[in-house]
Amino acid sequence: MSLTDLLCPSDIAAALRDCQAPDSFSPKKFFQISGMSKKSSSQLKEIFRILDNDQSGFIEEDELKYFLQRFECGARVLTTSETKTFLAAADHDGDGKIGVEGIDYFNCR
């Protein structure tokens, strides 16, 4: 399964266009534009599984840096500041990685 099986390709493209400039990435806005904020919990878990590149059950800081590239190969890498802000917001237990419990953060309405 791929992200385009769960999200509309034109919505993904619009979300990526919105954050092309360095330090312009807002997770909540990205989730809204891409359509992630409208997905069910089970759909979000599948999206999380796809974004978890090494299938460890967690999205670590190194994976998070390449978050946008999981949506489109040519997308930019998140800046250090964007990565740290994103991680801090979704890392509920402070262990430096996002577990499936952080999926609620992906469902920002």
Say whether 41 counts as a known binding-site residue. Answer: no
Q: d(Cα 60, Cα 88) in Å, to the nearest integer?
A: 11
Could you give all domains of the chain from N- to C-terminal order, each with its CATH number? 7-106 (1.10.238.10)
Q: Is 104 annotated as a binding residue?
A: no
By C-alpha distance, which of 6, 100, 9 is closest to 59? Answer: 100
Distance in angstroms (rounded) separating the CA atoms of residues 30 and 81: 16
State whether residue 101 is helix, strand or coil.
helix
| Residue 109 pLDDT greater than 50, yes or no | no
Per the annotation, does 62 bind a ligand? no
According to the annotation, is 101 in a ligand binding site? Answer: no
Average pLDDT, the chain: 91
Counting residues of the chain whose pLDDT is more than 90, the rounded percentage is: 77
Q: Is 58 annotated in some ligand binding site?
A: yes
Quick check: helix, strand or coil at residue 72? coil
What average pLDDT score do residues 1-27 get? 95
Query: Is 34 annotated in some ligand binding site?
Result: no
Q: Who wins on pLDDT, 54 or 101?
A: 54
pTM of structure: 0.88
